[in-house]
Every structure is written in structure tokens, then in C-alpha cells.
Homo-oligomer: A and B are copies of this chain.
Amino acid sequence: MQNWDDLRIFLATARAETLSGAGRVLRCDAATVARRLARLEERLGQTLFVKSPGGYALTDAGVRLLPAAEAAEQAAQAAVDAVGDAEEGLSGQVRIGAPDGCANYLLPQICARLVRDNPGLELQILAVPRVVNLSKREADLAISVSRPSGGRLLSQKIAEYHLTLAASEAYLAGRAPILSRDDLIGHLLVGYIPDMIFDAELDYMSEAGLEAAHVASNSAAVQVNFLRQGAGIGLTHAFALPSAPELRRVLPDEIVLKRSFYLVRHADDKQRRLLSEVASRLAQEMRSEIAQLEACS
């Protein structure tokens, strides 16, 4: 292998499945990516991608090459880890994928504390309305509402949290008090867009025995903002309520759903001290943050 760096370009392209996509993550022009891939193919004497205006797709030889390129990525990561954090403090970059409720109401303050305490640390929050694809390296760490199914992934349960019905004071003021489940009939419901529920755990409404939402979003944060605007009643994360003072719990004792956050990471990353440290502190901080936020509402 004459130039190990071409493996980096190959890997990015295999993941992005497109020259321009690879160029974005590599911070270079698509033309450069194309030329370096061409060089790699020439040197290996094998065509690695089938090229089309729709993108680049791996050939058989390409998929054979993939694991080796991933191993090289591991090594490169290990390299920066090896020289980086010899002394105290965490340093480096880690990207955390999370469902948007968590990303909006928990991670900002937690990550802020973490980077304040570790000047060399760089955290990125990737809020995605779907389960984040760790295998494609969209993120180093992912927070999920269920254990991952398969793949070479490690998962650990972080914390439990609760969902509760809530609505704005303004909305409730103009209507009859809600004292039992039956009083919910006729109310506007805020919830998920049914066919965009990417994880069965998010199907709150049917579990709570509620009908489909009248006002819906794929984003938990948007739903909260609906509620704040008085759009109706909806199930939201209890830990989101303190940041929305105009919201009141509805039937807090009757309707309570319990969920858990899981932290999942790639099995190959087990050795990476930085990730292990961030993961453990993240879990710890999330536990206390949830406990505190849920208590004060």
C-alpha cells in the first residue's frame, strides 16, 4: 500500500455512498475524492466502486476492502488517543447522537459542564429523528430509547425517565378541569407523527390509551413548543417541564409512562479511553440531571 491515506478517502466514500457526501465529511472537493479513488483503484488493480450519477456503490472488491479500511480507522483513532491524553483531563472530539428530546433538554447543560471542566474536550450533539447509525460512524456515542438489536454494539442502561401529560396554563384555563381520564375526551392532542415513529418505545399515545394526535411533529422539542403555545395536551418528558414554566402536568398520578435511556457505542471502540470516560460521565450526569429536573415540577 503506497498511501495509507487513500484508505481514509475510500472509507468515507463507502459510507457516504456519494463523492460529494464524502467530500463534505473529508472537507475537500468531490473532484479530489474522485481522483484519489481513481488512483487507489489503479494501484490496487481493482475497481472498488460502480460509478453512476446517483452515487458510488461498492463492488465486491470494495466490500472486501471495507474491513481493512475500518481497521485502519481504528488504528488512526488509537494514534491520536495515544499521544493526546497522556496527562490529566479529557481532550479530543466526540460526537454524541441522541433523540431530540434528550438532545434538547438534557445534553446541552451536561455537555456544557463537561467541556468547561475539560478544556481540551470538544463535544458535538447530533440530534436525529431516527436511530443513529453508529456503524456508519455518524457518531461516536449514541443515546437510544431501546437496546440496539444487532451489530457489533455495546449498550448500557443509563437512567430511567418519565413521560407525563402536560398542557399550558393558558390552554387549561379556558376549559373544564381534567380530573379523570375520561375528561380528556374532546381535547386537542399533541404527539408524534404516527408513521415517523422510528422506535416502538416512542409510541406513547397508544400505550397511554390515547387516540392519534391532532397536532403532531417528529420532534419532541417541537411538541413541547406546541404545548407552550397552547395547542393542546400532550405526553412529554417530565424533565422538559422545568424549562417550560407555563406548562402544567395533567393527571400526574394517573398517567405516567416509564422509559429508559441507553448508551450505545461501537464494540471496536472499547479501547478508546476518551470515549469510555465521556460515556461514564455522561451517564452519571444524565442520571442526576433527570432526577433533579423531574423533582422540581
Query: Contact residues of A with B, CB < 8 Å?
Result: 1, 3-8, 44-46, 48, 60-61, 64-65, 67-69, 71-72, 74-84, 86
Contacts and interface: CB of A to CB of B under 8 A. Distances in A.
Given A5-B6, A7-B79, A72-B75, 13 more contacts: A1-B76, A1-B77, A1-B79, A3-B8, A4-B4, A4-B76, A5-B5, A48-B83, A61-B82, A65-B82, A65-B83, A71-B75, A72-B79
* Chain A at the B interface: SS class: helix
Contacts of A67: 78, 82
Contacts of A78: 67-68, 71
Q: How many copies of this chain are found per oligomer?
A: 2
A13 B110 CA distance: 43
Contacts of A5: 3-6
A75 B7 contact: yes
A84 B68 CA distance: 13
A84 B43 CA distance: 11
**Closest 5 CB pairs between A and B?**
A72-B75, A71-B75, A5-B5, A68-B79, A68-B78
B7 A80 contact: no
Contacts of A69: 75, 79
B80 A75 contact: no
Contacts of A86: 60-61, 64
B77 A74 contact: no
Contacts of A8: 1, 3-4
A67 B75 CA distance: 9
A64 B82 contact: yes
A134 to B, nearest CB: 19
A46 B68 CA distance: 28
Given A61-B86, A64-B82, A65-B82, A76 B7 contact: yes
A283 to B, nearest CB: 27
A254 B109 CA distance: 87
